[in-house]
Every structure is written in C-alpha cells, then in structure tokens.
Chains A and B, each alone.
Chain A
Amino acid sequence: MYVYDEHDRQIAAERVTQFRDQTERALAGELSEEEFLPLRLQNGLYVQRLAPMLRICVPYGMLRSDQLRRLARITRDYDKGYAHFTTRQNVQLNWPALEDVPDILSELAEVEMHANQTSGNCIRNTTTDQFSGVQVDEVVDPRPYCEIIRQWSTFHPEFAFLPRKFKVAVNASENTDRAAIQVHDIGLQMVRNDQGELGYRVHVGGGLGRTPMVGPVIREFLPELDLLTYLEAVLRVYNRYGRRDNKFKARIKILVKALTPEGFAEKVESEWAHIKDSPTRLTREAIERIQGYFTEPAYEAMDNASERLASQRFENRRFDQWLSHNVDSHKKPGYAIVTLTMKKTGTPPGDVSDTQLEQIAELAEAFSFGEVRVTHQQNVVLADVRQDQLFELWQQIEPMGFATANLNTLTDVICCPGGDYCALANAKSIPVAESIQRRFDDMDFLYDLGDIDLNISGCMNACGHHHVGNIGVLGVDKKGAEFYQVSLGGSSHHDATIGKILGPSFAQDDMPEVIAKIIDVYVNNRKDEEPFLETYRRIGIEPFKERVYA
C-alpha cells in the first residue's frame, strides 16, 4: 500500500499547522461561523446533533495495522471508545471536541492519515473495489490510479470551492462493480481497447440524493496517461458552469442533464483539447512509481487447501456457512479473501469499539500482511488469508462478533448513522436496521433468499445509498413524525438502476412486517435460484404493491 515520502509528509504536517491556525481564529471569533464552515468541512468536521463529528479519510479503503491501532487510541483519548465505518470507506468519530481536532489531526499525520476533503464542496475521497489487486477478473489493480487521483485532488487550488461536493470512484473488475461507479459524479471503469491498450470508460453525472441518476458515458475510451488532464477538464467545466443558485441543483448530474450528455461531453472535449498535453499529463514513470507501492505481498507458493477445508466444513456447520458466505476466491492458489462483518444484530452497522479496532489490527498482522480494506458496505476485508489458516481465523473472530455469516444477505444492511447522530436526518435509521435484522434471524432462511441489498438512509442525502438497494428504505418526515418510504429494484452494480418507490410510507413499527411481505412475494414468485432482483425485474412492482398495501 502507498507509503508517504518526504513530500507527502511535509504537506500533511503543513496542513495540520494550517488547520490549527484556522481553528484558533474560529475560536477567537476572527472567523464567522459561515466563514469557518467550508474550512472545517474540508477537514471532515461537522457540527452535529450531539457533538462535532470528524470524518477521517481512509484513501480508497486501505488501512494498515499501525493506523488501526492509532485510530483505537484516538477513540479512547478523544472520544467515547468507538468509531464508525462509513459508506464511503472512511471512518467517523462521533464525539470529538472542536478544540481537540488539531491534536487528533497531528496524531493521524504521524501514521500518514488525515481528514482532508472528507466533506465540503470539493473533490472527496476516491473509492474503489475492496477486492482490488486480489481478484481474478480485474483489468489492472485500480489502487495506484486512486492514489494518483488522491494526490492530484489534494488541495487542488482551482477546485476547492466547487458548486457542490464531488465524488470519484474507480472500478477495474470486468464482471462486477463493487464500487458503484455509475452513481458517482465521475465513475471510471478501467478497460482495454481493441489494441490492448489500457484506459478508462468515463461516466459523468451519476449520483443519489434528491435527484438519483445513473451516470451516462461521456467518453468510451480515455487513454491511461490522460487521466488527470481529462479530470481537470471535467472539473473546470463543472466549476465554471455548474449551478450555484440552488444547492439542490448544484451537483454535476444536473449540469450534465441540462446540457445533455453529448453537449456536456463536447464542452469537456473542447476544454481538454487545450490542456491534454500540459505538464499535468501523466508519465509512464509516474504511474510505475505509484504502482511500485502496490506490488504483491510475499505470497507463499501453495496449492489450494481444498481437502483440508472440505473436512473442516464437514465437521463444523457454522464454519461451513461462514466459508460459503464471507470468504471469496483469491487470484493466488492457496489464498482467500475474508470479509469481517460489522453487522452483528444489536450493533449499529459499521460501528466498532476501540478494542475491536485493535483486534482487527492484530488479525491483519497474523493473517493478512498487516493490511485491511474498509468496504462501502461498512465491513472490513482481510484480503490475503492463507486457506490453511481459515479455520483458525474463524475460531478467533467468532467470539469477536466479526463472523456473522450474513455477507450480502438481507441482514448485511447498509445504513447511515441516521437521526440518532446526524443533524441532517429526517428519521432514525439504525433502529430500523436492527428491527429488520431481528425479524430475519433464521440464517438458513437468509441463505435461501440469496443476495439481497437492503440499504437504509435517514434522509434524502442518501448516505445509506437507498436508491440503489434491491430494497431501499428512506426516512421521511411527515408533520414531525418519522416515516419510511420503500423502493424496490435498485442496483449499484454494472446494471446500475435507481429503485422505484413502492407507495405511501410506513411507520417505524411496521417496517419489519413490510419487508417480510416483500420477501414473501419474492419467495412465492421466484423461479429456481433466481435472485430477488431478477424476480422483481420479471414480475414488476405490482405484485409487491398488492401484497404490502392489501
């Protein structure tokens, strides 16, 4: 994974000094609340319902053991001993004191971490597939490109005051899209053209929120070295022409729609023509230098441990279930990808205690070369586990609560912090997730249902990605009471689709039963092994409506 050199370290240290100065001026009254707002947001600092919330950047989800330990220490020393993994592969603290934030940043900088641009109207953390570099079907490891984008976007002087926030995601798998790139402001799909050259298919103008949209392709093939100049052209067009008169119409998707994707692409192309050969154009050496940080760890030459695993599975049914659901195949023989689930019923999805952070750090060192990845489904991945150590790992993580074998099932809920923590929320989301998890506690039934994405957001800002859940739940405010609107048929994968609203919203207490009825309709209508989404696409929304509103 990427390691800072003296330049990165210097910039990180200078940033801490700058934010300390900004915080002091804010506390001294030299900056108005309005003036301090974008400064603190660009440093991930929100003022929330109960306390400030600090969003710490985890670039494209990668964390080392020493960083996890430092996070654990920070949650103990400056917070209440727990943190929250977000749906953008970042980490949030819910209770830091404003005056402590510069010290927290300074502690983070010591382990090459920061909170830069985790909020505000700027270019945010670039996200990618949590299985990057270890999966079989990827065109190339996308992480070096994410790091290149991270460096380019960090304190970019032209794009610090965009009309609205701006999110980039990169995917390099040919068959799956775990990064949901088509619902990002820019989604980059890494591809090879007919000549075998590497490049990107560029989607612009996807997004969730108030006006959910799947991002259209504005360039089928962008050559590899042209990444940054093209991004600069897109951002410049957006910075100049994106709407600034209405916060709800300020995302780039609105501009793309207004100009039409063709019209927008033309504007970008003509801007790009001026700068495509500028010094910002990447060089082969620059890419190779960054790629040098993402080389393979010291894998041992091994065969798959198939027989050993087969007998372990035979002897232990829970291990068998865990292996089927939470373990994925690895590109190297003898290795496996393990997802530690942070979705134990009764714990808010994505929440981890300081002790758990330290446990994860130890597990990473013992089983996976000292690195983990945070997923946008709010879980944690050990990407390089030896197959002959899987049983031992499982035995260790069961009592820790990381082995709930519900990955990708109905109870592997994506859920924002909601009204319990967030000042923007219209409704609570965590209790809804929990009540649904409690209603569906029969693991065999969950496995029988197969993969279902259930996504819950407490408001229109859609941090829980409800629009692209196979089942989406949105908290709404109805005359001061919390209600929940349900949508069906969303997908964040290659077949990205915005879900359709089922009908009038429901009270919180009714939600488990509503979900149960939806599942019922699926079970009664599915053919063979058909997943939920396919059944829905085949039979449409009507049968679900009839049953739920009967």
Chain B
Amino acid sequence: MIKITEKHIDVQKVIETATSLSAGAVNVFIGTVRNNAHGKNVLWLEYEAYETMAVGEIRKIIDEASQRWPLLGWAISHRIGTLKPGEVSVVVAVSTPHRKDSFDACQFIIDTVKEKAPIWKKEVFEDGEEWISARPEMEFKG
C-alpha cells in the first residue's frame, strides 16, 4: 500500500497492512513534525507532493527493497497539507522473517523516500517561512 493523504495517518492500519503471518518481525518508522528548527519555534509545516510521481518513485524504492531483503509485507503512508508539531508525517512498515532484515529494509526505504520522492515541506515560523533544503545556504537535515 502506498498512500499520499491529506488525512490523519492511522499508524495501526499501516502496520496491519504490512503484517504477514509468516513474518517474525514487523519494523515501523514513524516520522513526526518537530516543534523547532534552527533555534526557532515551528508553528506548522506545509507538505506538498507531486502525487503521481511520488507514488511511482516510492514503488521503485519498494521494488529495490524487495530485491535486497525478503519482504513479506510493506506499507507506506505520507501526509500532505498542513501539519502541526507532534503530528505524524510519514509511516513506513515492513515485515520480514527475521528482525535484522526488517530494520535494514525499513531504514533503506525511509532514507530513499526522503532522498528521491517528489515531496516538499515548508516550515512556517512566527517571522517567516522557508522551503526546506531548497537553497545551498539553507542546508539543514530535514
């Protein structure tokens, strides 16, 4: 399941979708909105996606992960729209026969999604706003 959604992510549902009876491990990454960046308070984040391409890129990432690790199930849900601090922005869940593969596959998927999927976020502060990572002098870990 690959989902780009404006609605609240039901983490339990993502996990259930990725679960398999033949799996001995389910690994879940939950990304949340931080309330601070560069020493300033973040009021909210605006997420935007090029949805058709984002789904396609995530599918390629899952295909690659499936070749490298014995995935028995997987699911990804990514929020778009306005998110307040503490809200869940992304959930990746994978299941594999044993735990090490589940950690490695889950980390590969979230790292590569962050690197390649056409999804953007803008931080909104009390005194302005900034598209994250857009400019060289604004390079921070997102």
Whether A and B are associated in the same complex: the answer reads no
Interface residues of A (CB under 8 A from B): none
B interface vs A, CB < 8 Å? none
